[in-house]
Structure 1
Amino acid sequence: MPGVSFIKILFLYPTLYYQNCMDAQSSDCFNNDWSNWVADCAGTLFKGRFSHSDQISLQFNNILGLKFSFSFMVGKFDSWDPGEDQLQVLVDDAVIDTFTYGPYYGTYMCFNSTYPEYFDSKSYVFNLPIGRKSLKLTLKGSFNEGVDNESWGAKKFTLEILEPCVEFYSDCNFQGDIWRICNGNQTSQVRNIPFEIKSILIVNGIQVKMRDPKYNGGQTQTYTSSQYCLSSYQFPKYNQNA
């Protein structure tokens, strides 16, 4: 029907939000994400080596979603003693997993020739509270000997958004009132739009389609990245009391 205003959101999820240090000799292992320490074990680069109470963290801001998946590969180097040496995974400083390996678990590949190494892939799914837009991921070790005898590294860091969201704002630069839509493909008719839209926060992998008879000649606009200041989508019947 001509002249009908709408918003349609296409969530192409899971949305790949972040990757780092993915390949055996990946050059991005040398950037400062997580740590600027890099170790080579049998031709494979890892962030590390770490020991004692070393930990690495990465903070994500303006990340929109309800459910996430975090995965990485851990490198167990040399002698780990179960019950004494362990690695923890934390989300926003809360421990979601603790694991360890035996000293002779794995294959002899690098560093101390007395003990073997082992590469293991780890993956976790977790939720964030509605409205939370920041996320901190941490790997934290607890070892009682130095790096020459027991250590660890990590690589293939991947963060996916399994249930993404889009946020609409009443003012430019993501200020003012907020209207949020999450999960699945959704089309909102004009009766559900709570205010004039001036900016939109969008993560990669999401398409937002909007049409307003008074905006840009009534043509449908498609946005795939955040919009900091729009010329006000003033839908003719937006609900001021929503």
Structure 2
Amino acid sequence: MPGVSFIKVLFLYPIFYYQNCMDAQSGDCFNNDWSNQVAECAGILFKGRFCCEDQISLQINNIVGLKFRFGFTIVKIDSWDPGVDNIKVIAEDEVLDTLSFGPYEGTSMCFNTDYQDLFASYSYMFNLPQGKNSLKITLKGYFNEKVENESWGAKRFTLEMFIPCVEFYSECNFQGQAWRICNGYQTSQVRDIPFEIKSIIIANGIQVKMRNPKYNSGQTQTFTSSQQCLSSYQFPKYNQNG
């Protein structure tokens, strides 16, 4: 008599999904995330300097979750005019915040010594629509003078997942029909899955255990990272680990 096929998902959250340009002399500031433009102020590396209507963005594909927290440190350089010069923090098409400072906020650390500079940290919670598996975060500046007089930068970028999900696909390479399980959402212990599973998106910090009597001699398989192409899995039952 064949064993019972099942899926068990263990969510560990929040999931620390992404970080970049973290330390004072962090070498990862020099990668191409956000921008390949790097500057230094008082021995601290950051992405910048930017001016006018410069913007920097991070595009993440194959990310599956419903609730996130984005954090970063803004670098205010020289003479910002309050109410005129600002940075908009944007997740997808939603403006999460508008940051503005005065020319004398902070301390004089670098570049134009007539004005003060400032490192300030922020974080924002936001939701991603159900079914969407890509995310774009943007920092966009609005300035009316040259970089020698007013500029900005950013560092210590982080992204955490507070409601992570796992997404199963009917075809390899995350194509075809999709079926999603999210942490904290009510699901029945036994549920029909509408197709054979060929690929899975799994974020770090999530374990997916699956078993099919016809696959790998019926042994339970544990996956902790995304799977681009699996042999055919047919699961009549679903079990979420609460």
What is the aligned partner in structure 2 of residue 212 from structure 1? 212
Q: What CA distance in whole angstroms lies between the structure 2 residues aligned with 1:103 and 1:130?
A: 42
Aligned positions of 1:83-94 closer than 5 A? 83-94=83-94
Contact 1:6 1:188 in 2 (8 A): no
Displacement, 1:89? 0.6
What is the aligned partner in structure 2 of residue 154 from structure 1? 154
What is the aligned partner in structure 2 of residue 16 from structure 1? 16
Contact 1:172 1:230 in 2 (8 A): yes
What is the aligned partner in structure 2 of residue 77 from structure 1? 77
Aligned positions of 1:48-59 closer than 5 A? 48-59=48-59
Per mean C-alpha deviation after superposition, the further-off stretch among 171-180 and 221-230 is: 171-180
What is the aligned partner in structure 1 of residue 123 from structure 2? 123
Displacement, 1:190? 5.3
Q: What CA distance in whole angstroms lies between the structure 2 residues aligned with 1:113 and 1:210?
A: 61
What is the letter of the counterpart of residue 11 of structure 2? F
Number of paired residues?
A: 237
Aligned positions of 1:95-106 closer than 5 A? 95-106=95-106
Q: What CA distance in whole angstroms lies between the structure 2 residues aligned with 1:95 and 1:189?
A: 38
Aligned positions of 1:178-217 closer than 5 A? 178-184=178-184, 191-217=191-217
Contact 1:90 1:137 in 2 (8 A): yes
2:234 is the counterpart of 1:234 = yes
What is the letter of the counterpart of residue 136 of structure 1? K
| Percent identity between the two aligned chains | 73
Q: 1:183 to 1:78 in 2, by over 3 A?
A: same
Q: 1:41 to 1:163 in 2, by over 3 A?
A: same
**Which string of whole-angstrom CA distances, capped at 9 and with x for unpartnered residues, describes residues 102-152 of structure 1?**
111111111111111111001011001101111111111111211111111
Contact 1:76 1:119 in 2 (8 A): yes
Displacement, 1:26? 0.5
Q: What CA distance in whole angstroms lies between the structure 1 residues aligned with 2:106 and 2:237?
A: 62
Displacement, 1:173? 2.2
3-state SS of 1:106 partner: coil
Q: What CA distance in whole angstroms lies between the structure 2 residues aligned with 1:234 and 1:52?
A: 55
2:31 is the counterpart of 1:31 = yes
Q: 1:216 to 1:188 in 2, by over 3 A?
A: farther
What is the letter of the counterpart of residue 110 of structure 1? C
Contact 2:6 2:237 in 1 (8 A): no
Q: TM-score, normalised by structure 1?
A: 0.91
Displacement, 1:206? 1.1
3-state SS of 1:192 partner: coil
What is the aligned partner in structure 2 of residue 42 from structure 1? 42
> Which sections of structure 1, spanning at least 5 residues, go unmatched?
none
2:135 is the counterpart of 1:135 = yes
**Which string of whole-angstrom CA distances, capped at 9 and with x for unpartnered residues, describes residues 36-67 of structure 1?**
11111000001001111111111111111101
Q: TM-score, normalised by structure 2?
A: 0.91
Q: What CA distance in whole angstroms lies between the structure 2 residues aligned with 1:223 and 1:211?
A: 11
Q: What CA distance in whole angstroms lies between the structure 2 residues aligned with 1:112 and 1:20?
A: 27
Q: What CA distance in whole angstroms lies between the structure 2 residues aligned with 1:17 and 1:199?
A: 20
